[in-house]
Amino acid sequence: MAVKKSGLGKGLDSLIPEKKTSGAKKTEVNKDSLEDAVYLDINKVEPNREQPRKKFDEDALEELADSIKEHGVLVPLLVKDRGDYYQIIAGERRWRAAKKAKLKQVPALVKDLTEQEIVEISLIENIQRENLNPIEEAVAYKKLLEEFHLKQDEVAERVSKSRAAVANSMRLLKLSEKVQQMLIDELITTGHARALIAVEDEEKQYAIAQKILDEKLSVRDTEKLIKKMSAEKKEKEKKEQYLDPQLDAVYKDMEEKMKDILGTKVIINKKTPETGKVEIEYYSQDELNRIIEMFQKIN
């Protein structure tokens, strides 16, 4: 699919239509923002089920509804004519508040856009207004990549973000659903979530997330904890890798022979099948001197 250069990364202003939709009443309010808007029956306007944002703050909606009752909708919705209804591309929050304010009509800009442009605009509007939670934003990026076959740098250009920011956002989708929900509910921060990505086991992810919540761990504390757990896991795997019951019996026999010779406990620690280290324990300075003398006599 060819990538269409639409200038979306520059903001929503570039998407204001040049032509007015016939058969609709033009508003005469606020020349700058509503110049090309038309009034639409609010009951014929419906939200986009695929839009990134899923949660709306009810208290904030009530405040906006009170403002709309007094001043009206000052910024028009952006919609697409679907025949039987108008689909909201940008402005669902305003539409919801307008319904609470019991408006019968809302100002809107009707534009014929592709499905890809609709997704891009919905994402951009929410990002610019900081309305998306981290998971909603990541899901929207994934949609642009997978459904419209865009590359990460193309997505980054459209939303005016760095490629690294888009990549880091999408990495959050590697988290388990339970941890993602904790991030959505703001029980943990994005910093905590990014640290948890390093934990592959989903149950351990969730257990650490609960520990973060219960013990109020900082991001730095979380990173240290995960780093320690990772080191312990690697050490355990390393030991298990060279675990050989028959070979262990041979080493145990060697330990006993050296113990008999030196008169103290000896431990053989294997690093690989071919390498390792020998630990000789002593319990006093005199015993250490005795062991040294034994080695000197070998020469």
> Catalytic residues, which ones?
92
Judge whether 58 and 64 are in contact, CB under 8 Å: no
Measured in degrees and rounded to the nearest 5, phi and psi for residue 7 equal 70, 25
Judge whether 121 and 89 are in contact, CB under 8 Å: yes
Residue labelled with tokens 């979530």: 193
User: Of 11, 3, 6, whose CA–CA distance to 124 is shortest?
Assistant: 11
Residue labelled with tokens 């997704």: 119
Tell me the one-letter amino acid at 14: S
> ∠ CA(185), CA(191), CA(197), 5° rounding?
90
Judge whether 117 and 90 are in contact, CB under 8 Å: no
Alpha carbon of residue 232 to chain centroid = 26
Give CB contacts under 8 A, 24+ apart, made by 63-68.
64/93, 64/94, 64/97, 65/97, 65/98, 65/100, 65/101, 66/101, 67/97, 68/94, 68/97, 68/98, 68/101, 68/103
Q: How far apart are CA 168 and CA 172, in angstroms?
A: 7
Name the DSSP class of 117.
H
Extract the tokens encoding 173.
């989708």
